[in-house]
Homo-oligomer: A and B are copies of this chain.
Amino acid sequence: MIKHALSVTREANFAEWYQQVIAEADMAEESGVRGCMVIRPWGYGIWERIQRLLDNAIKATGHENCYFPLFIPLSYFEKEAEHVDGFAKEMAVVTHHRLIQKDGRLVPDPEAKLEEPLVVRPTSETVIGAAFSRWVQSWRDLPVLVNQWANVVRWEMRTRMFLRTAEFLWQEGHTAHASEQEAREETLKMLEVYRAFAEDCLAMPVVAGEKPENERFPGAVATYSIEAMMQDGKALQAGTSHFLGTTFSSAQNIRFQNSEGQLELAQTTSWGVSTRMIGGLIMVHGDDDGLRVPPVVAPWQIVIVPMLRDAPEDEAVLEYCRALRAELAGHFQFGEPLRVLLDAKAAKAAVKRWGWVKKGAPIILEVGGRDVAGGNVSVIQRHQLYREDGKLNAQVMARGDFVLEAGVMLESIQQSLFLDASDRMQTSIRRDVTDFAGLVEAFDEGGKYPGWVEVSWARPSGAELDAVVERLKALKLTFRNVPNGAGAPEGECIFTGKPAVERILVARAY
């Protein structure tokens, strides 16, 4: 039996395993500030890769980056009731602008109370809408296509690193258009950008589709999501795109004169992904030895660990490693130079090796005196850490061969991670459930069904939908989305018995 690098397996306790991966890979830690985490270099390095790649795609689709205020006056929220209802319960409120000493403690200065309290942005539709109302006068000013990378705060009572934290990092795109059709196209275009990014860069297969009415963003006319399947079978909403209609243009007065000279309300959209994606990455690709980072988003794709023994030959080993690093760094894959680290820290080679295994560097190269003598490297591909006999899968290769093949090897690792996750997801979506009893049975604890169920439904709304949602809630289930291209529904709605109009995914979720 293999002795894994983590002390808890996914099978034994998935939630604890998740926390342990984050801790052992030095990705993040509790900060001591309620609900806020410290993102450490390896976790933040993955976020920087996400930012870089997604930012390119956001710009390639015609959007420009801006920056809007962290603080939003309460009066901005008062203009849009539904939006307020969605966020009021979890807002951090700034009420004072000075501290004073009192009885040896620091306290907010009662003399420095704000006339109007400010909310720390939970999302920026209101404050960006106010800017749009200044920028948009004529149809010639449209579309407005902007994005910002920012921190936002939602005062969650139960937090979990990366998945749900009081403060998190994200990008939020906001656009205004002259026609509903154009705004709806924008909403779907960005959903597709997210799908392609998740699958091609994070190697994380997703289902893209429309959320049901009860899961819409507060104020949205339609909300779409990408949903990823975690290894425990739960769903993670990994990105959303909203068609907002005229909700925010009415509230913030974003009007334009159309080409016929008439005044119209603009049609707006918003869309975002956050550091939550990193939580998804962990739960899709991690294994019992820690994280496995897809090469496209790995801060370091290849880590060279010199096997030093406090001996005179050490210098030759280091020299060999330095030259190897420089040589590799001159090669390209995925359109960028390879990211190669020489880990020359003062620690034992085995400790360093297992450190990088837990962090999930895609390729770990070990180089000892014998490798130098033979002109070789010892190659560990993190995604296939063990051989069938349970031994570590380290492959000795001629250095020159490895240098030539490194790029292709990274590409094949990326594909392999995607295919594994994709197979798992595809075989874990049941589509044969035709009544509510079947749904209950599918998620029965005894059965331990670790996936999702796609069923036919009649798309109820209002109170009828609420009743269905309550029935699901009792089973700890939620609607995820109506998958794009799911095909025509068969028979009756399993919830209402009415003729079905579409297929919808049901799952437990984060």
**Interface residues, chain A, with chain B CB atoms under 8 Å away:** 29, 31-33, 36-41, 44-45, 47-48, 64-74, 77-78, 84, 88-101, 105-108, 117-120, 127, 130-131, 134, 140, 146, 150-151, 153, 155, 166-167, 169, 346-347
Contacts and interface: CB of A to CB of B under 8 A. Distances in A.
10 contacts: A32-B130, A33-B69, A45-B65, A48-B65, A74-B107, A84-B99, A93-B94, A95-B96, A96-B117, A98-B155
A166 B94 CA distance: 13
B94 A90 contact: no
A64 B93 contact: no
Contacts of A67: 38-39, 44, 47, 169
A129 to B, nearest CB: 11
Contacts of A347: 140
Contact of A97 (B92, B118, B134): B92
B77 A140 contact: no
A-B complex: 10 closest residue pairs judged by Cβ atoms: A36-B69, A41-B64, A39-B67, A97-B155, A93-B96, A88-B99, A33-B69, A74-B106, A93-B108, A95-B95
A78 B98 contact: no
Contacts of A153: 70
A303 to B, nearest CB: 14
A444 to B, nearest CB: 38
B68 A151 contact: no
Contacts of A90: 97-98
B120 A106 contact: no
A249 to B, nearest CB: 17
Nearest to A156: B97
A73 B106 CA distance: 10
- The interface centre, meaning the residue of A66, A67, A150 with most chain B CB atoms within 10 A of its CB, is A67
